[in-house]
Amino acid sequence: MRNVLLASAGMFALSAFAPAMAADMAARAPYVKAPPPAAIYNWTGFYIGGFGGYASEDSGNPKMEGGFGGGTIGYNWQAGNIVYGLEVDAAGGDIDASASALGITARSKIDSLGTVRGRLGFAVDKVLFYGTGGYAWANNELSVTALGVTASQSNFHSGWTVGAGIEAFIAPQWSIKGEYLYRSLGGETYFGIPSGDINLHTVQFGVNYHFGGPIVAKY
How much is the pTM? 0.79
Cα–Cα dist 10/43, whole Å: 69
Say if residues 33 and 24 touch (Cβ distance below 8 Å). Answer: no
Say if residues 107 and 153 touch (Cβ distance below 8 Å). Answer: no
Q: Is the preceding omega at residue 172 within 30 degrees of 0, hence cis? A: no
Q: What is the pLDDT along the chain (219 residues), one digit of tens a residue?
A: 444 333 444 444 434 444 544 445 445 556 556 565 555 788 999 999 999 999 999 987 889 999 999 999 999 999 999 999 999 999 999 999 999 888 899 899 999 999 999 999 999 989 999 999 999 999 999 999 998 899 999 999 999 999 999 999 999 899 999 999 999 999 999 999 999 999 999 999 999 999 976 665 454
Say if residues 84 and 120 touch (Cβ distance below 8 Å). Answer: yes
Residue 85's Cα: distance from chain center in Å? Answer: 12
* Residue 93 burial (CB count, 10 A): 24
Cα–Cα dist 74/116, whole Å: 10
Say if residues 92 and 70 touch (Cβ distance below 8 Å). Answer: yes
- Say which DSSP state 83 is in: E
